[in-house]
Amino acid sequence: MEVEIKKLGNEDIEQFKELIRVFENVFEMENFTMVPDSHLQQLLQKKEFMVFIALSENQVVGGLTAYTLQQYYSTSSLVYVYDLAVKNELQRKGIGKKLMQAITAYCKKNGIREVFVQADAADDYALDFYRSTGARAEKVVHFTYPLNTRAIGF
C-alpha cells in the first residue's frame, strides 16, 4: 500500500474534514458534531496551526494536527502535536511513523527547537508507538480545567 504524506493548506478543507472523521472513528467520539466550515477554514489559515494527512488511493487514512507555541525564554518555537490517528484497520503499518517523520522534518527545516506530544499513561499502544518513533518520555501530570463542555464540538 502506497501512502503519501501531505501538509494541508488553506484550500484543503474537505481533506481536513475527512481527517476529523478519522479522528471521530478512531477516538470513538460519541455524539460528535462537525464544527462549521468557516471555523475550520480559519484554523487552516493560521500559520500556528498545522495539519498533516496520510493519503492512500486519494483517501485520507490518517493524520495529525499540531500547534506552534511561541516561547518567552527562547526565540525558537515549540510544536505540540495535538491529535494523531490512523484508521484502525491500517494501524501498525508505518503510517503513524511517516506522519511523525513528516512533522519533525518540517519543524527541523523551519527552525523549531522541539516537537512534543502527550499520551495517556494507561495507553500502552500510544506509549510504545511514540517511543518507537524516537521520542523520549517525560514523567509529567497533565491537569485539565473543564470550563464549558457545551462549547466543544462533541
Do 84 and 91 form a contact (C-beta atoms < 8 A)?
no
Q: Which amino acid is at 40?
A: L
Q: Phi/psi at 104 (nearest 5 deg)?
A: -70, -40
Q: Residues 26-44: pLDDT tens digits? A: 999 999 999 999 999 999 9
Instruction: Look at residue 63 in the predicted model and tell me its pLDDT.
Output: 98
Cell of 120: 495517556
**By mean pLDDT, which of 48-57, 75-84, 125-134, 145-154 is the weakest?**
145-154
**By mean pLDDT, which of 52-56, 64-68, 117-121 is the weakest?**
117-121
Do 53 and 19 form a contact (C-beta atoms < 8 A)?
yes
- Looking up cell 495507553 gives 123
Q: Residues 54-64: pLDDT tens digits? A: 999 999 999 99
* Domain 4-136 coded CATH 3.40.50.300: no
